[in-house]
Amino acid sequence: MTDCYKPRDECGLSSAIKDAATAKMPLVVRGAGSKSAMGRPLGGYAMSLTTERMRGVSLYEPTELVIGALPGTPVSEIDRMLAKHNQMLPFEPMDHRVLFGTSAEPTIGGIVAGNVSGPRRIAVGACRDSLIGVRLVTGRGDVVKSGGRVMKNVTGLDLVKLNCGAWGTLGVLSEVIFKVLPKPARSLSVGLGGMNDTTAIAALTAALGSSFAVSAAAHIPASIGSDSTTIVRLEGSDGSVAYGARELAKLWRSFGRAELIEGDESANLWLRVRDAHWLAQPMDRSIWRLSLAPSKAPHVLADIRQKLGVRYFFDWGGGLVWLAVVDADDAGASVVREAMANTGGHATLVRASSEMRHRIDVFEPLPPAVLKLTQEIKKCFDPDRVLNFGRMYAGI
Amino acid sequence: MSKIRFTEPNREILARRDSIINDLTRLVDPAGLITSTDECRAYETDALTAYRKMPLAVVLPKTTEEVSAVLKYCHDTGVKVVPRGAGTSLAGGAIPSEDAVVLGLSKMNRVLAVNYDDRFIRVEAGVTNLSVTAVVAENGFFYAPDPSSQLACTIGGNIANNSGGAHCLKYGVTTNNLLGVRMVLIDGSIIDLGGDYLDSAGLDLLGLVVGSEGQLGIVTEATLRILKSAEGARPVLFGFPSCEGAGKAVADVIAAGIIPVAIEYMDKAAIEICEAFAKAGYPLDVEALLIVEVEGSDAEMDATLADITAIARANGATTVRESRSAIETAAIWKGRKSAFGATGRVADYLCMDGTVPTGKLSYVLAEISKIVQRHGLRVANVFHAGDGNMHPLILYNANDPSQQSKAEAAGDDILRLCVEVGGCLTGEHGVGIEKRDLMRYQFDDADLVQQIRVRAAFDPRWLLNTDKVFPLDFRCQG
């Protein structure tokens, strides 16, 4: 059992980190711990630090579409508050509890630390695109702010984005501020059945190249369920969604007969896409997340499938591939990374045993010049290497 | 007297000028090296024309490799470098110093790839903003960020300043539409960040580079997200008898859950100036004008405009005029986008760029008016109201030194006001030299020190676009 700092406010957070830095004592930093099993394992550290007790919405101006919260605030609390004003976090953050079998509610700090987004990412951007301001405590214990509460801001370096997706290796967030969006008046899905991967991605590409308010696009191949499903979601005003659905059915005529999916059925389908529901069981399978240009995805998948038993599906119009490796002594790393090598994209090992995550690069290995910059940036935020040291890359 | 200070040039570098130029001739095509005083004069300032400094030399490389060779040379020999796109910075972001080499990207203007299936275009950094959309328009696509200077400004400059424009209310600014860059670090190493896919690996260095005002490296190529154009777009002019009514209408539209593509604001002074220039049919009998653009199918535009019109009328709008043709639409936008140029015909001006919470617009407009009057000057307001990005144009006579210092003092007061109400110094123009000394107003020393440490991780010898962004007494700290 490790000891744990549980600061209640930014001041306490700063003094905890200063203590750790003085003692050169590395800390495992976390929110509620819903995705503690992601990243390189941080075994052997005696101390941890959680932001769980730093909770609450710090700023909400519905008429300005801005919300701010302390890092330990559960995402569900923010969702509920926004829903009262018919608003939402635009980027539809994934809930990792499904994949990791954890129970603690994901916190907003954890979402930002992992730059966690969902299917709507292709239409409105990632978590990092909605995040407009942060306060954080560096590994030196310094309180630093960047960005703010306004939508457009190029005042000074953008440390907001730098810390979004840094997995707590540079600083511990003490406040996060987002721009939000009104909930769409209507949301429905249009689906096609019976398509192979190549044709399905072509259909999604046609939809995304249209002007019909597509907010999500996924393909679930036949190997996942009984039949394949290729779906896009349309969101907007009543009229625009109805119009888009009609036009899309015409656009898709050469692919097959489009079917409308509405209400809970549509909503549940996208929750499953968001949380990679189909790959969660059995829990001992390693899971990868591949980001690449959509047109390259079918080929990469065909390549991987020749060498490896996998279950998989596509989100982001094919630009995001979720992959569960059935059986491989390296979690499929050599095959996956070789298939991705010439695509320019990158692969992340989202779920694997601690032993495997110790042995294999979890995040895409960086070219030497970028690695050197990353090391220098780590050093200038956290010279004593106290914050999640080694969670993303060895030595970072 | 001009209030912005410049550091004394390094005499040792000035003394080595001939040998530096001699060395540069071996690194770039001779046609891309400018050393004569007459030719260098074109590079001595940008759109902040009140300040000028003659550079040591100007290089205009044609390839990433040439950029790399020049940067490595400058790094190894301690010569400062000032990156330059089209030189349209209103904040002095491209103003050189006497001991610096200007590295201009105007010869790197090729389109490298267009991919409609994966919805991106890859260009060299010297390509102009407007020409990106021009390339993909024939297939019904567009590149979203559209700064007013889009005819001239380059993608490299857009990245350096995270440029927005009128339509970023719906589509976001440069950072939200950039997928990847190739850039050269000061030591000459060439790196790729991001690419033709979403969310780059490792730390978000791409996000860090956007808006860094040429201090982290020089971007030579960019991969940009392109989008399918809406079926139709229609701007509507709403005239208001009071500025407060217009400001309130903006807040009410956003609060009603309507996100138009653009909401642009002009006050009476700006309306008169722009109408005289563009003949766009702007109403002259109102105190404030909103240009609201919606897009989509005809039915969708009709429905949205009905809602917006109701809100505008409830806030006292007296004129409501929809564009009825592509020609009218073009005229409406021409008037807005030429606002800065048109203002330049009637007076010299300083263009501010503070951003404020949209709920504070009316208050800030009233305060701006008081500030400018207090300094004995006039102001024209024309700005992106939907996202609170204000552009007060402080009018003055540049031939009168006392007026220039008054204008600068009024500008400082306005930016302080923006910060006080919860906003920031600059939304899309950058800090440059203009707002450098106000940075302490928005940031504590701890904030600035951390930014400077990050900057030093890229440029430890402090050679890239020095004297910009950070107060002069802040320097590299490891």
The domains located in chain A, with CATH, are 1-183+365-396 (3.30.465.10), 186-274 (3.30.70.2190), 277-359 (3.30.70.100)
Q: Which residues of B touch A143 (CB under 8 A)?
A: 446
- The 10 Å CB-count burial string (b at 16+, else e) for B151-180 is ebbbbbbbbbbbbbbbbbbbbbbbbbbbbb
Q: Do B117 and A345 touch (CB under 8 A)?
A: no
Rounded Cα distance, B346 and B289, in Å: 20
For chain A, what is the mean pLDDT?
A: 96
Q: In what order do the strands lie in the sheet with A131-138?
A: A57-61, A66-69, A171-179, A131-138, A143-147
In this chain, the answer to whether the domains covering B234-338 and B347-420 adopt an identical fold is: yes
Rounded to the nearest 5°, which phi and psi values hold at A113? Answer: -55, -35
Q: Do A239 and B303 touch (CB under 8 A)?
A: yes
For residue B476, the chain A residue with the least C-alpha distance is A380
Q: What is the separation of C-alpha A132 from the centre of its chain, rounded to a whole number of angstroms?
A: 17
Rounded Cα distance, B411 and B422, in Å: 17
As given in the structure block, the two tokens for residue B366 are 């009233």
Q: Are A323 and B173 in contact (CB under 8 A)?
A: no
Q: Does A366 touch chain B (CB under 8 A)?
A: yes
Q: Are A197 and A298 in contact (CB under 8 A)?
A: yes
Pairing of strands A346-351, B218-225: unpaired
A60 by Cβ neighbours in 10 Å (0-12 / 13-18 / 19+) ranks as: middle
Rounded Cα distance, A334 and B185, in Å: 31
User: What architecture is domain B1-229?
Assistant: 2-Layer Sandwich (3.30)
CB pairs under 8 A between A and B: 252
Choose from A153, A186, A370 for mutation: most chain B CBs within 10 A.
Answer: A153
| Closest CA of chain A from B13, distance in Å | 28
pLDDT bucket at B256, cuts 50 / 70 / 90? confident
> For B66-92, what is the mean pLDDT?
97
- Tell me, what's the pLDDT at B1? 40
Over its C-alpha atoms, chain A yields an Rg (Å, rounded) of: 21
End-to-end CA distance of chain A, in Å? 25
Rounded Cα distance, B16 and B27, in Å: 17
Q: Does A199 touch chain B (CB under 8 A)?
A: no
For residue B254, the chain A residue with the least C-alpha distance is A63
The 8-class DSSP code of residue A364 comes to: P
Q: Which residues of B touch A364 (CB under 8 A)?
A: 201-202
- Tell me, what's the pLDDT at A153? 92
pLDDT digits (tens, 9 = 90+) for A44-63: 788 999 999 999 999 999 98
Is the interface score ipTM higher than 0.85?
A: yes
Q: CA nearest B268: which of B350, B361, B378, B371?
A: B378
As given in the structure block, the two tokens for residue B383 are 């700005």
- Tell me, what's the pLDDT at B2? 58
Q: Which residues of A touch B300 (CB under 8 A)?
A: 236-237, 239-240, 243
Residue with tokens 């940008």: B46
Query: Was domain B234-338 assigned CATH 3.90.1170.50?
Result: no
| Closest CA of chain A from B454, distance in Å | 6
B319 by Cβ neighbours in 10 Å (0-12 / 13-18 / 19+) ranks as: middle
Domain-by-domain residue ranges, chain B?
1-229, 234-338, 347-420
| Closest CA of chain B from A231, distance in Å | 17
Q: Which residues of A touch B197 (CB under 8 A)?
A: 291-293, 319, 343-346
Q: Does A307 touch chain B (CB under 8 A)?
A: no
pTM over cut 0.90: yes
Please name the member of A117, A209, A291 whose beta carbon is closest to the beta carbon of B119: A209
| Closest CA of chain B from A143, distance in Å | 7
Give residues 320 to 339 of A whose Cβ lies within 8 Å of B: 320
Rounded to the nearest 5°, which phi and psi values hold at B397? Answer: -110, 115
pLDDT bucket at B476, cuts 50 / 70 / 90? low
Cα A123–Cα B356–Cα B390 angle in degrees, nearest 5: 90
Partnered with residue B392 across adjacent β-strands are B381
User: Cα-Cα-Cα-Cα dihedral of B242, B246, B247, B253, to 10°?
Assistant: 150
Choose from A11, A134, A151, A154 for mutation: most chain B CBs within 10 A.
Answer: A154
Cα A166–Cα A391–Cα A137 angle in degrees, nearest 5: 50
Q: Do A164 and B204 touch (CB under 8 A)?
A: yes
The answer to whether the Cα torsion of A203, A204, A210, A212 is positive or negative is: positive
A30: part of which helix (H) or strand (E)?
A: strand A27-30
Q: Are B57 and B123 in contact (CB under 8 A)?
A: no
Q: Which residues of A touch B355 (CB under 8 A)?
A: 150-153
Rounded Cα distance, B80 and B102, in Å: 9
| Closest CA of chain B from A126, distance in Å | 8
For residue A116, the chain B residue with the least C-alpha distance is B199
Of the two residues B3 and B85, the one the predictor is more confident about is B85
For residue B177, the chain A residue with the least C-alpha distance is A125
Please name the member of B296, B387, B422 whose beta carbon is closest to the beta carbon of A152: B387
For residue A391, the chain B residue with the least C-alpha distance is B202
As given in the structure block, the two tokens for residue B402 are 């006392």
| Closest CA of chain A from B462, distance in Å | 15
Q: Are B469 and B438 in contact (CB under 8 A)?
A: no
Give residues 161 to 180 of A whose Cβ lies within 8 Å of B: 161-162, 164-166, 170
For residue B445, the chain A residue with the least C-alpha distance is A144
As given in the structure block, the two tokens for residue B209 are 């580079």
Integer angstrom CA distances of residue B244 from A93, A119, B249: 38, 40, 8
Choose from A146, A150, A315 for mutation: most chain B CBs within 10 A.
Answer: A150
Rounded Cα distance, B250 and B246, in Å: 6
Please name the member of B208, B229, B442 whose beta carbon is closest to the beta carbon of A157: B208
For residue A243, the chain B residue with the least C-alpha distance is B297
Tell whether the model's pLDDT for residue B16 goes beyond 90. Answer: yes
Q: Which residues of A touch B115 (CB under 8 A)?
A: 293, 295
Q: Do A159 and B355 touch (CB under 8 A)?
A: no
Tell whether the model's pLDDT for residue A1 goes beyond 60. Answer: no
Q: What is the separation of C-alpha B199 from the centre of its chain, rounded to a whole number of angstroms?
A: 24
Tell whether the model's pLDDT for residue B276 goes beyond 60. Answer: yes
Q: Does A240 touch chain B (CB under 8 A)?
A: yes
For residue A165, the chain B residue with the least C-alpha distance is B203
pLDDT bucket at A356, cuts 50 / 70 / 90? very high
Of all residues in chain B, the percent with pLDDT exceeding 90 is 83
Q: Are A79 and A115 in contact (CB under 8 A)?
A: no
| Closest CA of chain A from B36, distance in Å | 35
Tell whether the model's pLDDT for residue B478 goes beyond 50. Answer: no
Pairing of strands A66-69, A171-179: antiparallel
Integer angstrom CA distances of residue A314 from A231, A305, B202, B306: 10, 14, 22, 39
Residue A260 CB contacts under 8 Å (≥ 6 apart), including other chains: A188, A189, A190, A191, A245
A168: part of which helix (H) or strand (E)?
A: none
pLDDT digits (tens, 9 = 90+) for B168-210: 889 999 999 999 999 999 999 999 999 999 998 999 999 999 9
Residue with tokens 């979890």: A362
Q: Are A70 and A56 in contact (CB under 8 A)?
A: yes
- Tell me, what's the pLDDT at A129? 98
pLDDT digits (tens, 9 = 90+) for A227-272: 899 999 999 988 889 999 999 999 999 999 999 999 999 999 999 9
For residue A293, the chain B residue with the least C-alpha distance is B197
Please name the member of B435, B449, B457 whose beta carbon is closest to the beta carbon of A376: B457
- Tell me, what's the pLDDT at B183? 98
For chain B, what is the mean pLDDT?
A: 94
Q: Does A122 touch chain B (CB under 8 A)?
A: yes
Choose from A85, A92, A157, A300 for mutation: most chain B CBs within 10 A.
Answer: A157
| Closest CA of chain B from A353, distance in Å | 21
> For A117-127, what is the mean pLDDT?
97
Residue with tokens 């389109």: B111
Integer angstrom CA distances of residue A259 from A189, A231, B318, B476: 8, 9, 47, 61
Q: For the domain with range B347-420, which CATH number is right: 3.10.350, 3.30.1490, 3.30.70, 3.40.50?
A: 3.30.70
Q: What is the 3-state secondary structure (H, E, C) of chain B?
A: CCCCCCCCCCHHHHHCHHHHHHHHHCCCCHHHEECCHHHHHHHCCCCCCCCCCCCCEEECCCCHHHHHHHHHHHHHHCCEEEEECCCCCCCCCCCCCCCEEEEECCCCCCEEEEECCCCEEEEECCCEHHHHHHHHHCCCEECCCECCCCCCCEHHHHHHHCCCECCHHHHCCHHHHEEEEEEECCCCCEEEEECCCCCCCCCCHHHHHCCCCCCCCEEEEEEEECEECCCCEEEEEEEECCHHHHHHHHHHHHHCCCCCCEEEEEEHHHHHHHHHHHCCCCCCCCCEEEEEEEECCHHHHHHHHHHHHHHHHHCCCCEEEECCCHHHHHHHHHHHHCHHHHHHHHCEEEECECECCHHHHHHHHHHHHHHHHHCCCEEEEEEECCCCECCEEEEECCCCHHHHHHHHHHHHHHHHHHHHCCCECECCCCCCCCCHHHHHHHCCHHHHHHHHHHHHHHCCCCCECCCCCCCCCCCCCC
Partnered with residue A235 across adjacent β-strands are A187
pLDDT digits (tens, 9 = 90+) for B317-365: 999 998 888 888 888 888 888 888 899 888 999 999 999 999 899 899 9
For the ranges A264-273, B143-152, B469-478, the lowest mean pLDDT is seen at B469-478
